[in-house]
Amino acid sequence: MDKYNFKRLPTHIGIIPDGNRRWAQNKGFDKKDGYKFGIDPGVELFNLCSQIGINEVTFYGFTKDNTKRPADQTKEFRNACVESVMRLTHTDCEILVVGDAESSLFPEELLPFTKRKKFGKGGIKANFLINYGWEWDVSKYDKSVRKKGFINNIASSDISRMDLIIRWGGRCRLSGFLPVQSVYSDFYIINDFWPDFNAEHFYEALEWYEGQDVTLGG
């Protein structure tokens, strides 16, 4: 990291940790066995964000669409998400879980996190989308009781606009990831699968981001 000297850092980074199943298949494992190898990378990436002074990180955990996958896979990614959240409770951060908590597919262990909770000295915000759906999110918008700004009236209103979205696994798409908070985000794509995460990926993304201009649509 010492070789990097960032002058302009993103305030809020979105993470799409894709490619767990493809990674598992390449290793000769069952698809479902990829997810647990995604837990350590998440904690490591979070720690890097924290050290470098990022204000907010949002992890794309799993969606309502994802839960239509085979039951053994669903079980594994739910477990991996719960474990990831729990691991961060041992750090200094403020955790929020956003997703449809009225559904039985929402992990019970994560219910206490549907309001932001501070751990240790607090500081960096860590958001997880769990049993999230973009349509579920924006359909909460209610014209009749609105605050100023569309973003302040949806289910994910406690998550701010993202400056940079990093996606692993080579695909260049949002896959329903926070359509409102991503309107002006820069997307950086890493071809490696998520379980193969390493710190250089993160620094490369930040270096690339520094070369982008900020226009906010103007």
- Least separation in angstroms between residue 114's CB and its own copies is 22
Q: Using DSSP, state whether 21 is helix, strand or coil.
A: helix
User: Please, which residue, 20 or 66, has the CB nearer to its own copies?
Assistant: 66
Least Cα distance to 79 among 20, 14, 155 occurs for 20
Place of tokens 């695909």: 171
Q: What are phi and psi of 97, to 5 degrees?
A: -110, 130
Using rule CB under 8 A, residue 188 touches its own copies: yes
CA–CA dist 57, 49 (Å, integer): 8
What is the nearest approach in angstroms of its own copies to the Cβ of residue 215? 7
Q: Taking the chain, what is the end-to-end CA distance rounded to the nearest angstrom? A: 33
Residues 113-142 that bind its own copies (CB under 8 A): 134-135, 138-139, 141-142
Out of 30, 118, 173, 207, the residue judged to bind its own copies by CB under 8 A:
173
x/- mask, its own copies, residues 56-85, rule CB under 8 A, reads -------x-xx-xx----------------
CB of 157 or CB of 182, closer to its own copies: 182
Residue 28: strand, helix, or coil: coil
Fill in the amino acid letter for 16. I
Residue 149 in the binding site for its own copies (CB under 8 A):
yes
CA distance 66 to 180: 20
216 part of the interface to its own copies, by CB under 8 A: yes
Q: Return residues touching its own copies (CB under 8 A).
A: 63, 65-66, 68-69, 134-135, 138-139, 141-144, 149-150, 171-176, 179-180, 182-189, 212, 215-218
